[in-house]
Structure 1
Amino acid sequence: IAVPYTGLILSTRESAALRKKAFHIGISQASAGSRTTTGGYGKDKEQPQFKVQDERNLEQVIQDVVKDGFLPSFCTACYRKGRTGEAFMELSKPGQIHKFCRANGLLTFAEYMQDFLTNGLRKKGEETIKFYLNKIEDKALRQKTKERLAEIYKGKRDLYF
């Protein structure tokens, strides 16, 4: 049995090993660096609602995602552009949403790298951006994405399609 077009999101309840396997079978969203205590982001860890199995911080999760050949994305463009519900499905069913996802993923990952990256992931991250940029088949969209990446590297933020 299958449930097409159902988004599945991994929580930090699952182990890092299970989460890695899940990415390889197509799960595309995961939380990272989660706190499970009510109000937990403002406090130290105490009495969580559930046990966290994957205690890696966001940067560690990003490192592993990139190392496994995936493009990390922090995209919220569909929500912000009103591409939700039926409007999202109209693009998703024929496979059209994919072109937005890759371009927006590149832009958000570039922003993350510029603003938050603290370790030696930069070289691998740049290789990942170059690899996925070249996978954008629509030449006009690829060029526009290159232009927006250049703007991000100059300090502009919150760019999306």
Structure 2
Amino acid sequence: MAWTLFDFVAAGVLLFGAGLTFVLLARMGNNTTYRVAVGVAVAAGLLLVWANMAVGLVGSEDNPANLLYGGVLAVALLGAFVARFRPLGMSNAMFAAALTYVVVTAIALFVWTPSGEVAEPQVHLVNVLVANGAFAAIWAISGVLFRRASATGSASNRQLA
């Protein structure tokens, strides 16, 4: 793969943004489980964006159906803000993101009807389903960890900044 300057800049922005997001959100909780849950959620978001930009999650990176995955990030972010970053609400937001991921994959596969040159015979449906299932599972794991953090009494009154 021959990376251009844009590819390096995009990777740097994604990695820096993910690291900064983790640092800011990890301060919101006072236990290790909350911080691990934040790490898993940030990693899920980073992997979603990176994979979508690099190879695409349904078909190739040029497939417009891949734009639907922005909805997963929107659900996770909106849910986190509505929950005020409290562990139980964050858990619900991550479960909602996992469910959104599954729904978006189903919609993308329904909308994406490969034919002709874009059929991409090397992309098998099973591979797409397994990869997307793994990504959805990462969001769900984050939800489980946030649920566990809420049970262990993470600080719910801490504010960002």
TM-score (norm 2): 0.35
Larger helix proportion of the pair: 2
TM-score (norm 1): 0.35
